[in-house]
Structure 1
Amino acid sequence: MAVFVLDRGGRPLMPCTEKRARLLLKRGRARVHKMLPFTIRVVDIEAEDCGFQALRVKLDPGSKTTGMALVRETAEKNAVAVINLFELMHRGKQISEALTARRGHRRMRRSHLRCRAPRFLNRGNKKSGWLAPSLQHRVDTTLAWVNRLERLAPVSSISTELVRFDMQALENPDIEGAQYQQGTLAGYEVREYLLEKWCRTCAYCGAKGVPLQIEHIQPKSKGGSNRISNLTLACQCCNAKKAALPVEVFLAKQPERLKRIQAQAKRPLKDAAVVNATRWALVNALKATGLAVETASGGRTKFNRIELGLPKTHALDAACVGDVNAITGWQKPTLCIKAMGRGSYQRTRLDKFGCVRGYLTRSKNIQGFQTGDRVKAIVTQGKKTGCHIGRVAVRASGSFNIQTSNGLVQGISHRYCTVVQRGDGYGYQLVAKTDVTGTPPQPRNTSCSALYLPGLKAGVSRAN
């Protein structure tokens, strides 16, 4: 991955390679500013004395994971070079479940009050554009990382998917004037939607990992339409067997499968609804940054990825957003960023009935550490002798747990711990690059010094 660079005043410069960053640190011309994502601050360069190239942040918003790519625009038209790849994992589901549990606990407690005051018309009206907290979280975290990348690199523009699936065109295939209906993107929107909806499996036999074909549930010869609710996916064998038979006849001996297919065909894709609900809120928030914003559809993204022969990942999907003819330097590790939150105001643990079953410490700071900080513990004696680097979970007793890349290490005394980076509400994991065959990426060691700059000497001064 490229290393972010700041001048001595904290203004962003062009990212550099790991080798150059290592030389700057070794010669004393730079200091480590931040470990994740790795950033250095040079001490003898001003931003006014440097040249800049056009950098663009590309986004592939998703319901659970948002892909991000920082790319550099090259001299060739519509060609980009990938600088860094990121995958931001949201916690909207956890927020929704926490709000549901809190609502149940409050309802239970109110029902046991002897003198409960009436509670009618005591809630304010929702503002225009209001989103549920689990949806607003996706917009806020994505915008927060766009702003962070803007502070770390001289970003000049943004590209994002305005919509994952065009629901109007899917429900009305006869719509005219859309490029993906009559042009080079014909069928990409429909096929990608069906792959997500039917979990990339054959609806009739459940086969996975085989070529799938778009199939009409009710044959067109029997009055079936091209509407998305009448389409499914089938392997070549099932598609040939079904031919022009009505689905009720083809699955006459499998009533349970028939019932499931008919129910799922009418059910809209939940993830598509989530993305469509937040699309305009995200685009408007990105426009408020003052940068030029380019929008595109999910069909265009998949078309670019297939034409360029790139494997399927969220980060590489982000690199393919917009009008792209060529992508270079995409074989890079991906930094996975998981939204963890900054703790909770609730200092009690509740059982399933909403009753208190335990208390948390009133202070989140224990011996100078907080849960979520990234620490380095060098244990010199005992069963846990060694060097452990990872995310810490503090205890009032001073015996901490450290989540490392190799697993959870429990019972580490605070005396052995040193703060590497203060918690910022996110967890980080570096994933090795994906090869051209689409082999799943493998996690790499995320120890801070070995992560980006192997050979970086311990003791390099760090700025908070």
Structure 2
Amino acid sequence: MAVFVLDRRKKPLMPCSEKRARLLLERGRARVHRLVPFTIRLVDRTQEESALQPLLVKLDPGSKTTGIAVVREDESADEETGEIQRQVHVLWLAQLVHRGQQISETLAVRRAFRRRRRGANLRYRAPRFLNRSRPKGWLAPSLRHRVETTLSWVRRLQRLAPISGISQELVRFDPQALENPEISGIEYQQGTLAGYEVREYLLEKWGRQCAYCGATDVPLQIEHIHPKARGGSDRVSNLTLACAPCNHAKGAQDVRVFLAKDPQRLARILEQAKRPLHDAAAVNSTRWSLFEALKATGLPVETGSGARTKFNRVRLGLPKTHALDAVCVGVTHAVFDWDRPTLQIKATGRGGYQRTRLDRFGFPRGYLTRQKRHFGFQTGDMVRAEVPKGKKTGTYVGRVAVRASGSFNIQTREEVIQGIAHRYCTLLQRADGYGYSWIKRAC
């Protein structure tokens, strides 16, 4: 994994290897600036004295997880065709886990409590409707969170590396080709991406299983719900997935005839055929907001479709991960140094203002302390605990959960260590609203 480097004025320089960072630290030419992501700061060099190369941040936005990659691109001409080839050298990989679902559930609980209070205390208040206006471009808090956390990490990477551009997967699918397969322009329909849009959409929509028998981990074929031989169209609302035996058994029958003895499955298929993807809807709701926010950074933004991302990944033989999907966004002909560990960044928040624990009926069942920091530590800080004696003798590094009593819990990579006294803890990095862990290499 590349190490981010800053000059003595905290301006970004080119990332270096772990070996070089270790030598700079041993020789006293650098100081540790931040542990995660690991960043060093040189004490004898400025940005003007260094040679910089343009780096690119690639993003694969998702409803639950966003892939992030910092890469360096080279362009070269193909010897046979003369076509410009874009070669990607991977420097840093991460996947950002959003907490949109948690925000949605928290707001639902708060809404229920608010309704109870109003019903109990303002029973005869005259009803009011449409007394709140929403600004243009408004997004629900769970969706706004996805945009803001992604933008926050792009800005953070700008402070750590000489980023000169952004590449974003703007659309998961090409809706024009999906809704109107008869679109004019034969080159558009029969290019190298032909079929990838529809197939990927159906795999996501139908849960990668046979719609008729529920078989998984088997080769799936695209199947017409209303047979094409009987006038069925190629629209995605008329397509599903079926294993080879079910597809052969159904043949040219209408789905209502084929599943006449299984009305529940028939009703579920007909309903699912008209239902849009929930995750795709969330991504579609935020994609343009994220695009406009990225453009506001002043960097050039390149866009690409999800089908092209999958096409690049399959063609290059890369494993399926969120971070490597980000590497494959946009025009990519070759990828080097992709076999790197991935930093998982989980959005944890910075705590809440609620100081009272409530039961399921909305009555108090416990109270929290008024202050978040105890003995110089706050929940979410990264600490090192060295316990010299007792049952928990050892050294533990991880995320701390504080108590007013001074008995802390430490979440390490393997387990939670409970009851560690505060006097054994040393602060490594302050809480920033995220939890960090490492994912093994993708190979």
With normalisation by structure 1, the TM-score equals 0.91
Amino acid at match of 2:403: R
CA distance, structure 2, for counterparts of residue 105 and residue 142 of structure 1: 31
121-130 or 265-274, which deviates more = 121-130
How far does the alpha carbon of each residue in 1:310-335 deviate from its partner, in whole angstroms, 9 at most, with x for none? Answer: 11111111000001111111111110
Asked if 2 retains the 8 angstrom alpha-carbon contact of 1:212 and 1:236, the reply is yes
Q: Which runs of 5 or more residues in structure 1 are unaligned?
A: 436-464
User: How far off is 1:256 after superposition?
Assistant: 2.1
CA distance, structure 2, for counterparts of residue 264 and residue 387 of structure 1: 52
Counterparts of 1:125-204 in structure 2, within 5 Å, are 125-177=133-185, 181-204=189-212
How far does the alpha carbon of each residue in 1:194-227 deviate from its partner, in whole angstroms, 9 at most, with x for none? Answer: 1111111111121222221111111101221111
State yes or no: 1:16 paired with 2:16: yes
How far does the alpha carbon of each residue in 1:148-200 deviate from its partner, in whole angstroms, 9 at most, with x for none? Answer: 01110000000001111233432222233496633211111111111111111
Counterparts of 1:309-388 in structure 2, within 5 Å, are 309-388=317-396
Asked if 2 retains the 8 angstrom alpha-carbon contact of 1:8 and 1:43, the reply is yes
Q: Which residue of 2 aligns with 1:454?
A: none
Q: Which residue of 1 aligns with 2:431?
A: 423
User: How far off is 1:102 after superposition?
Assistant: 0.3
CA distance, structure 2, for counterparts of residue 433 and residue 62 of structure 1: 21
CA distance, structure 1, for counterparts of residue 131 and residue 104 of structure 2: 20
CA distance, structure 2, for counterparts of residue 337 and residue 178 of structure 1: 43
SS of equivalent residue, structure 2 residue 360: coil
CA distance, structure 2, for counterparts of residue 335 and residue 169 of structure 1: 36
Distance 1:238 1:408, change over 3 A: same
Q: Which residue of 1 aligns with 2:268?
A: 260
State yes or no: 1:215 paired with 2:223: yes
Query: How big is the alpha-carbon RMSD for the aligned residues of Structure 1 and Structure 2?
Result: 1.4
Q: Which runs of 5 or more residues in structure 2 are unaligned?
A: 77-84
With normalisation by structure 2, the TM-score equals 0.95
SS of equivalent residue, structure 2 residue 378: coil
SS of equivalent residue, structure 1 residue 74: strand
SS of equivalent residue, structure 1 residue 376: strand
How far does the alpha carbon of each residue in 1:277-318 deviate from its partner, in whole angstroms, 9 at most, with x for none? Answer: 111100000000000100111111111111111111111110
CA distance, structure 1, for counterparts of residue 218 and residue 3 of structure 2: 40
Amino acid at match of 2:65: T
SS of equivalent residue, structure 2 residue 8: coil
Amino acid at match of 1:71: V
State yes or no: 1:292 paired with 2:329: no
CA distance, structure 2, for counterparts of residue 123 and residue 14 of structure 1: 52
Amino acid at match of 1:218: H
291-300 or 168-177, which deviates more = 168-177
Distance 1:28 1:113, change over 3 A: same
How far does the alpha carbon of each residue in 1:405-461 deviate from its partner, in whole angstroms, 9 at most, with x for none? Answer: 1111111111111111101000111111111xxxxxxxxxxxxxxxxxxxxxxxxxx
Distance 1:294 1:378, change over 3 A: same
Asked if 2 retains the 8 angstrom alpha-carbon contact of 1:180 and 1:187, the reply is no
User: How far off is 1:117 after superposition?
Assistant: 4.4
Counterparts of 1:270-289 in structure 2, within 5 Å, are 270-289=278-297
